[in-house]
Chains A and B, each alone.
Chain A
Amino acid sequence: AQSVAQPEDQVNVAEGNPLTVKCTYSVSGNPYLFWYVQYPNRGLQFLLKYITGDNLVKGSYGFEAEFNKSQTSFHLKKPSALVSDSALYFCAVRDDTGGFKTIFGAGTRLFVKA
């Protein structure tokens, strides 16, 4: 069965510092991995995805994520955090064995302090 874990409920970082939001996953086959961001009173917004190929995936707003197969991780990163990055971030996974369901993590709240 598919599962995804976001071990941190909240991440605090100072503006201008690098940020990392952690995600680990478990799937039967090969994973499709995603990051979404949710601002207050709004739906989720797609940031980036990993399907195959280069382990470093670049996405919207300067975010990137690194796929690590041996550690079954897909951590979200940004070299320099902005106050406007403060939001709720969700990691999600879907496998390539024919299942259609995308499983979302519980979310990590990112707080960037000015």
Chain B
Amino acid sequence: EAGVAQSPRYKIIEKRQSVAFWCNPISGHATLYWYQQILGQGPKLLIQFQNNGVVDDSQLPKDRFSAERLKGVDSTLKIQPAKLEDSAVYLCASSQTRDVLTQYFGPGTRLTVL
């Protein structure tokens, strides 16, 4: 079974530029999560989808971050414009309906904002 796929693995941008990350969850997993992991901290949930609907986006900075999961499969997270403090690893995870509590994580995208 293929795992959660993310791209790109690394991205370096200047502040005020925009960036997008892509995630393809494990096949059949209805729930998809985006986390931000700042160096030295645990992952912080940005947004959670159930199929293509948003379940929780309370910690998503909506003035600059957006995410979509149009067909209930893969997802894109965008930052526009980026700030220095957005430098982090962005992790995507997914879980299946019959075991929604167990999350499977992708390798992450390391973003550096200069």
* Residues of A that sit less than 8 Å from B by CB: 32, 34, 36, 41-46, 49, 51, 90, 92, 94, 100-102, 104-107
Contact = CB atoms under 8 A, between A and B. Distances in A.
Nearest to B43: A104
A104 B104 contact: no
Query: Size range of the interface on B?
Result: 20 to 34
B4 A90 contact: no
28 contacts: A32-B101, A34-B101, A42-B108, A43-B91, A43-B105, A43-B106, A43-B108, A44-B91, A44-B103, A44-B105, A45-B105, A46-B104, A49-B101, A51-B101, A92-B42, A100-B48, A100-B55, A100-B56, A101-B48, A101-B56, A101-B58, A102-B103, A104-B42, A105-B42, A106-B40, A106-B42, A107-B41, A107-B42
